Structure 1
Amino acid sequence: MQALVYTFIAIAAVAVGAAAYFGLTFTPANAILAALVFGCVCVVLMERTLRLRAENRLERAIEDLSRLLATDAQAGAVLGQRINSIAEVDAGARLEGVEADISVLGTVIRQVAEAVADLEERKAKPAPVSNDRLITAPSAPVVYEPEPLIPLPLLRQAVSENRLIYHMQPVVTLPQRRTQGFDLVPRLMLENGDLADRADFMPRRGGEDVLRHIEGVGLLEAVTICRRARANAQQVTVYAPLSRATIGDSTASEQLLVSLEANRAIASGLTFTISEADWQDLTTGERAIADAVAKKGAGFSISDVRSLRIDIAELAAQGVRSLRIDAARFIAEPEVFTDFHASDIANYVARFDIKLLGTGVVSERQIVELLEDGIVLIQGPYIAAAGPVRSDLGMEPLRQTAR
């Protein structure tokens, strides 16, 4: 563009010289001098305009950097206050009191259990019923969620020893299979150097403090990746895990909001993955925290969705960007999820700027069937396994793994 402007200036200078020579009866030397003066004046004016534009752009960049540094300083001050308040707490005395209360409570529970057992033994047994008149109802199968292989105490020890790491698993768009984002996958480094998957160590019941720590590390990792991608002029979405253990805790939720406020420039690239059970069980206060997260620019991805017979418009207003469904189950039993036709539900959900995300894709046939049903976001071991991200190459390593 600049070369074109200079070309026009040269043409205009020649035209001025010609006009001076033929129209104003200048001598050839005077006409050439007039053309050169006109060209020099135009070049000076053009350079001045470009310099002023560059200075204005530099001033705006400095102002943006100043605001970012101010928010970082504010977040650091809040974190320092938290650390100071924790350092002043006498945890030893409180723990002794809690241990004593737990001991007393355990004794009382044991006594109550013994009393109930005595009452059951003394209770008269019911009269036997003849087999020909006995009608037994079929018992419903009880589904027990398996306990993690790594118990909670060992998990706490591993987390305290900084053996928790996060890997990335791509989420791709169909049919080009371009990387749309990355799932943060927590893994635990064992003492023998092996890596334990999420299902092997994530606590099913209790352990909220460990969950908060794991999700806090995931948030820090997601912010780092988004900042690195922005520095490399790349558009990337990072799906970070989130649960009620963090949203329901005042300190953890406040730290989450402070981090999002300090990183508003990259908040649009953050999407928090929360299970459908946790999302539906959010209390009024927890729902307010989720709304505040959405107002900061981040979004939500609901995982383990069992049914699409829900208010999609309400979810869109609450900042939900995607609904994760099991690909195999949706292909085999679409009627379990919705009363719509399988090929229409994705278009209906897309009207509210929400996308269906098929998870657990294990074959090419599943990809074809999901694409026929209009589902364009998929993730699973067939696409790419979770792996580390090399800091020197940004997002490139995992993009190459996607088939």
Structure 2
Amino acid sequence: MQALVYTFIALAAAGVGATAYFGLTFTPAEAILAAIVFGCVCVVLLERSLRQRAENRLERAIEDLSRLLATDAQAGAVLGQRINAMADINADQRLEGVEADISVLGTVIRQVAEAVAEIEERVAKAQPAARERMIAATQQVQAPLPPVREPEPTIPVEMVRQALNDNRLVYHIQPVVTLPQRRPQGYDLVPRLRLEDGDLADGVDFLPRRGGPDVMRNIEGVGLVEAITIGRRARAGGQPIKLYIPLSRATLSDSAASEQLLASLEANRLIAEGMIFAISETDWQSLTTPERAVTDAIARKGAGFSILNVRSLRIDVADLAARNIRSLRIDAARFIEAPESFTDFHAADIANYIARFDVLLLATGIASERQIIELLEDGITLVQGPYIAAPGPVRPDLMVEPSRPARPQLRRAEL
């Protein structure tokens, strides 16, 4: 195509020279010069248009390349985000959860097979008396647990109310430690009442069981203020801690007390994650709809719950985890002596199964080294009790100083 254009230019230049010679009476030299000049001008214009066209084509190619590079950069960014997300996945923890589920499932299948075999054997032997005993035992297991009978306090409510007015209520702390290192995982706030003779009365001696809701609200309000003070101090020192704060239906059922509780949590969002409210299993199971709404609001503020005096682990752990239950407290001696009273799972599997829902088993009332060893064998690593450390005044560093490896004690340093 380009050669044809150049041919037309040459013909046009020859025509211009002939016209100049014959029509304009140019000399032969002038006519040839005119033809050459016309041909050169046409060639320059043609080359200029071709160059502009090439430059435009090159610019469009560069723009297309830029768009392709931008698309590649976006794809690389998305790929990087996916790689980071895959790197953040804790595969080991998920595998541990799967292994724990498989172990629990194997144990359950084995127990079911043994139970079926035993039933078939009893049916084959046609022992009505044995079947009746089995049915009675089954009904006894399925029957609701009897209510816990707590000892009545020895100090009357009026004396407690007077002591509160005299500011004789103090809060000590008792550590909750992890095994086997026995490092503090958190601290229980333990209310104590300073008597007129200077002695300290424990909670079982003065906390009202019936009546006196105003007294309980006052005691729990003081505990909340104490927890906020300790939590702020620990955070300012660069060592955030977990505090277990006593809570009961007396506070949850009172609108003013519950609103004050929620307002305090809202004002202390930075330390709310380390505040865990300890509520008894009886109170938790008997919560009314408004009281449950208050506990849900507390969970939304970031605080958690720990259920005290759990008598049975035949519960929906997933539902408890959804309501921000972080630990279930069981009596260590009873769990060691009769684990079947708590669960149908094997004692060594129940802790791993519950931990799958981010809920921990906390064994309380540790009284000997033997109990610690047996709990470790069952996978329970969170314990508390007089053998670990007795309640004591709060120290500035909020730590437990062991007097010997087996039984750490608290220093007697005041706030």
Question: What is the TM-score with the length of structure 2 in the denominator?
Answer: 0.61
Task: Give 2:226's aligned residue.
Answer: 221
**Number of the residue aligned with 1:199:** 204
Query: Superposition pairs for residues 273-284 of structure 1, below 5 Å?
Result: 273-284=278-289
Measured against aligned partners, the alpha-carbon deviations of 1:197-231 in whole angstroms (never above 9, x if no partner) come to 11110111011000000000000011111111101
Which runs of structure 2 are paired with 1:376-395 in the superposition (5 Å)? Answer: 376-390=381-395, 393-395=396-398
Gap change, CA 1:144 and 1:304, over 3 Å in 2: closer
Distance (Å, rounded) in 1 between the aligned partners of 2:266 and 2:147: 45
1:303 corresponds to 2:308: yes
Going from structure 1 to structure 2, the CA distance change for 1:266 and 1:337 (only over 3 Å counts) comes to same
Q: What is the rounded CA distance, in whole Å, between the counterparts of 1:329 and 1:146 in structure 2?
A: 18
**Amino acid aligned to 1:395:** L
Q: Structure 1 residue 177: deviation in Å?
A: 0.4
- Counterpart in the other structure of 1:116: none
> What is the 5 A alignment of 1:135-284?
145-284=150-289
Contact 2:151 2:204 in 1 (8 A): no
Of residues 365, 368, 377 in structure 2, which corresponds to 1:363? Answer: 368
SS of 1:149 mapped into structure 2:
coil
Counterpart of 1:271 in 2: which secondary structure?
strand
Distance 1:270 1:262 in 2: 13
Amino acid at match of 1:387: G
How far apart, in 2, do the equivalents of 1:142 and 1:152 lie?
Answer: 23
8 A contact 2:248–2:280 mirrored in 1: yes
8 Å contact from structure 1 (residues 172, 378) kept in 2: yes
Secondary structure of the residue aligned to 2:326 is: strand
Matched, 1:288 2:256: no
Partner-residue secondary structure (3-state), 1:306: coil
Matched residues in 1 for 2:383 and 2:313: separation? 17
Cα-Cα RMSD:
1.5
SS of aligned partner of 1:338: coil
User: Is the alpha carbon distance of 1:292 and 1:179 closer, same or farther for their aligned partners in structure 2, counting shifts above 3 Å?
Assistant: same
Alpha-carbon shift at residue 144 of structure 1 (Å): 5.5
For the residue of structure 2 that corresponds to 1:150, the secondary structure is: coil
1:22-60 deviation per Cα after TM superposition (whole angstroms, max 9, x unaligned): xxxxxxxxxxxxxxxxxxxxxxxxxxxxxxxxxxxxxxx
**Letter matched to residue 173 of structure 1:** T
Letter of the 1:274 counterpart = I
Secondary structure of the corresponding residue to residue 170 of structure 1: strand
After TM superposition, list the pairs within 5 Å mapping 1:33-48 onto structure 2.
Answer: none
What code does the residue aligned with 2:284 have? W
Cα distance in structure 1, aligned partners of 2:365 and 2:151: 19
**CA deviation after TM superposition for structure 1 residue 235, in Å:** 2.8
Q: Counterpart of 1:394 in 2: which secondary structure?
A: coil
Distance 1:196 1:361 in 2: 21
5+ unaligned residues in a row in structure 1: which ranges?
A: 1-140
Give the TM-score normalised by structure 1.
0.63
Distance between the aligned counterparts of 1:154 and 1:175, measured in 2?
A: 43
Task: Give, in whole Å, the separation in 2 of the partners of 1:297 and 1:255.
Answer: 16
Instruction: Please tell me whether the aligned partners of residues 358 and 378 of structure 1 are also in contact (alpha carbons under 8 angstroms).
Output: yes
User: In percent, how many aligned pairs have the same letter?
Assistant: 70
Letter in 2 for 1:170: P
Gaps of 5+ in 2: 1-145, 409-415
From the superposition, tell whether residues 353 and 200 of structure 1 become closer, same or farther in structure 2 (CA, over 3 Å).
same
Q: Secondary structure at the match of 1:217?
A: helix
| Aligned equivalent of 2:36 | none
- Residue 362 of structure 1 deviates from its aligned partner by 0.3
3-state DSSP of counterpart to 1:387: coil
Give the SS at the match of 1:165. Answer: strand
SS at match of 1:374: coil
Paired position in structure 1 for 2:141: none
Cα distance in 1 for partners of 2:168, 2:148 equals 32
The alignment covers a number of residue pairs equal to 260
Q: CA deviation at 1:389?
A: 1.1
Contact 1:170 1:399 in 2 (8 A): no
Measured after TM superposition, the shift of residue 293 of structure 1 is: 0.2
Task: Give the aligned residue type for 1:225.
Answer: I
Residue 320 of structure 1 is matched in structure 2 by: 325
| Equivalent-residue separation in structure 2 for 1:225 and 1:394 (angstroms) | 10
Q: 1:388 to 1:334 in 2, by over 3 A?
A: same
- Cα offset, 1:145, TM superposition: 3.9
Q: Which amino acid aligns with 2:330?
A: I
Residues 228 and 394 in structure 1, CA contact (< 8 A), matched pair in contact too: no
Q: Give the match for residue 51 of structure 1.
A: none
Deviation at 1:246, TM superposition (A): 0.3
